[in-house]
Amino acid sequence: MTSHLVTNIGELVTWDADRPILHDAALVVEGGRVSWFGHRVDAPAADSSNDVGGAAVIPGFVDSHTHLVFAGDRSAEFEARMTGEPYAAGGIRTTVAATRAAPDEQLRANVARHLAEMRAQGTTTAEIKSGYGLTVLDEARSLAIAQEFTEETTFLGAHVVPDLSTGSRGDVAAYVDLVTGAMLEKCAPYARWIDVFCEDGAFGADEARTVLEAGIAAGLLPRIHANQLGHGPGVQLAVEVGAAAADHCTYLSDADVDALAGSGTVAGLLPGVEFSTRQPYPDARRLIDAGVTVSLATDCNPGSSYTSSMPFCVAVAVRDMGMSPREALWSATKGGALSLRRDDVGHLAVGATADYAVLNAPSFVHLAYRPGVPLVAAVS
Ligand code: NIG
Ligand code: FE
């Protein structure tokens, strides 16, 4: 097996238990995995090498929450919000109509384009949800396309109730039956995760529980959109079913924070949403101080958060959510990996997949210190 040495690393972030951050460091990669890291002068000989000239090297970002299978544009909604309109979950149906009308080739090209944007900004692992098809056929093809790009695919047939003409609960019950029946059967082979949007205007606690339990019975792992637009039962439900992630967590009671702290559920914070909907940012400090594991992700979607940039999320989390630069980087890498129950990515300790980003900067702190600047020089 050939070995490759990356040397003259000004600052190396590994998240290794003993040496999480090193200076004047080097890294050896063999067979796609980290086989050694340490101080530059101690580096072993390798078959090839490159000198990064004192740059910082960080684990590739793990974006644990995206909705990349979509067509259409909702910039007009964003423009209206910036002049005072509130965000409404119902806007999802606009993207559903555009997605259903788009041929596979167009959806595939959109996913590829957004993943290329993400990679250029340091993301090396991305989760992708369905949720803009909302028919058996359109959800299944969304997931089949997503699976061409990532193993982290999530069935979100329970995103919103489509074509809800009467607003009666009967329609919701019929749609939950479809999601947990024929739709789940067709989609489960393409998905690792099951998700539900538990919120007023989408699905209530009992409906969400039904969806998650059906997904679990079909062999999928649960995660949830919870407490995004207001206080609600989503976080408690996430903990109750042992979900890997409760994402959004914008409106939390003390009981919600306590429940998360004693659980294996990662609280996913998605600052692009609050930026783009003018909602208050979630309080990361409160969660971290309570002992909750926090991840950061983009939630890249055309409605509530049309950013593909993890560095942007890191910068906002530091500036407006009470995170230190180190905490924000951890949440955007290792935290994202924990949200996806992965131990092979999100860090660069020995044995980890050698997914890393070389920054055009001497320290990872520049990710927040220089917001909006394209700092990712190379991605492996
Ligand atoms: O994560 N919360 C639900 N779904 C998306 C929004 C989707 C949309 O507005 O199109 C989210 O914010
Ligand atoms: Fe989302």
How close is the Cα of 182 to the center of ligand 1, in Å?
24
Joined together, the tokens standing for residue 82 give 């910036």
**Ligand nearest to C-alpha 97:** 1
The angle at the Cα of 261, spanning 259 to 279, to the nearest 5 degrees, equals 80
N- to C-terminal Cα separation, the chain = 18
158: β partners: 196
pLDDT tens-place string over residues 171-187 = 899 999 999 999 999 99
* Minimum-distance ligand 1 atom for the alpha carbon of 156: 4
- Mean pLDDT, rounded, for 24-35: 98
Tell me the C-alpha distance between 42 and 28, whole Å. Answer: 11
pLDDT tens-place string over residues 192-234 = 999 999 999 899 999 999 999 999 999 999 999 999 999 999 9
Tell me the C-alpha distance between 58 and 11, whole Å. Answer: 8
Joined together, the tokens standing for residue 88 give 């409404």
Confidence of residue 309 (pLDDT cuts 50, 70, 90): very high
- Mean pLDDT, rounded, for 13-21: 98
pLDDT number for residue 87? 87
Contacts of residue 207, defined as CB under 8 A and 6 or more positions apart, other chains included, come to: 158, 172, 173, 176, 196
- In this structure, the residues whose C-beta lies within 6 A of any atom of ligand 1 are 67, 91-92, 95, 197, 225, 228, 273, 299, 301-304
Tell me the C-alpha distance between 315 and 19, whole Å. Answer: 24
Using the structure block, give the residue that is written with the tokens 């920054």. Answer: 359
How many Cα atoms occupy the beta-carbon half-sphere of 50 within 13 Å?
7
In order, the DSSP letters of 246-280 are EEE--S--HHHHHHHHTSS-EEEE-HHHHHHHTPP
Q: Domain coordinates of the chain in residue numbers?
A: 3-60+346-379, 61-339
In this predicted structure, the answer to whether residue 165 has a pLDDT above a threshold of 70 is no
Tell me the C-alpha distance between 126 and 118, whole Å. Answer: 9
Lowest mean pLDDT, pick from 39-43, 81-85, 190-194, 326-330: 81-85
* pTM higher than the cut 0.85: yes
pLDDT tens-place string over residues 336-366 = 999 999 999 999 999 999 999 999 999 999 9
Using the structure block, give the residue that is written with the tokens 């423009």. Answer: 79
Ligand 2 is an ion; its neighbours by CB within 5 Å are 299
- Mean pLDDT, rounded, for 150-159: 98
- Correct CATH for 3-60+346-379 of 2.40.30.10, 1.20.1440.230, 2.30.40.10, 3.30.565.10: 2.30.40.10
What is the DSSP pairing of strand 3-13 with strand 21-30? antiparallel
Confidence of residue 163 (pLDDT cuts 50, 70, 90): confident
How close is the Cα of 316 to the center of ligand 1, in Å?
19
Contacts of residue 167, defined as CB under 8 A and 6 or more positions apart, other chains included, come to: none
Joined together, the tokens standing for residue 273 give 């949403």
- Mean pLDDT, rounded, for 330-335: 99
- CATH superfamily placement of domain 61-339: Metal-dependent hydrolases (3.20.20.140)
pLDDT number for residue 91? 84
Ligand 1: residue whose CA is nearest its atom 12: 304
pLDDT number for residue 166? 60
Higher pLDDT, 253 or 88: 253
How many Cα atoms occupy the beta-carbon half-sphere of 72 within 13 Å?
22
- Mean pLDDT, rounded, for 131-153: 98
Closest alpha carbon to 225 in 247, 205, 193, 201: 247
Contacts of residue 211, defined as CB under 8 A and 6 or more positions apart, other chains included, come to: 157, 158, 176, 179, 180, 194, 196, 203
Ligand 1: residue whose CA is nearest its atom 9: 303
Percent of the chain with pLDDT over 90: 94
* Minimum-distance ligand 1 atom for the alpha carbon of 91: 9
Q: Do domains 3-60+346-379 and 61-339 have the same CATH topology?
A: no
Residue 249's region, left for phi above 0, alpha for psi from -120 to 50, else beta, is left
Tell me the C-alpha distance between 339 and 355, whole Å. Answer: 17
In this predicted structure, the answer to whether residue 169 has a pLDDT above a threshold of 80 is no
Residues in the chain: 380
**Ligand nearest to C-alpha 203:** 1
Closest alpha carbon to 58 in 11, 25, 18: 11
In this predicted structure, the answer to whether residue 170 has a pLDDT above a threshold of 80 is no
State the average pLDDT for the chain. 96
pLDDT tens-place string over residues 98-118 = 999 999 999 999 999 999 999
In this predicted structure, the answer to whether residue 168 has a pLDDT above a threshold of 90 is no
What is the DSSP pairing of strand 193-198 with strand 245-248? unpaired
pLDDT number for residue 230? 96
Confidence of residue 89 (pLDDT cuts 50, 70, 90): confident
100: exposed, middle or buried (Cβ count in 10 Å: 0-12, 13-18, 19+): middle
H helix or E strand, kind and range, residue 183: none
* Minimum-distance ligand 1 atom for the alpha carbon of 94: 10
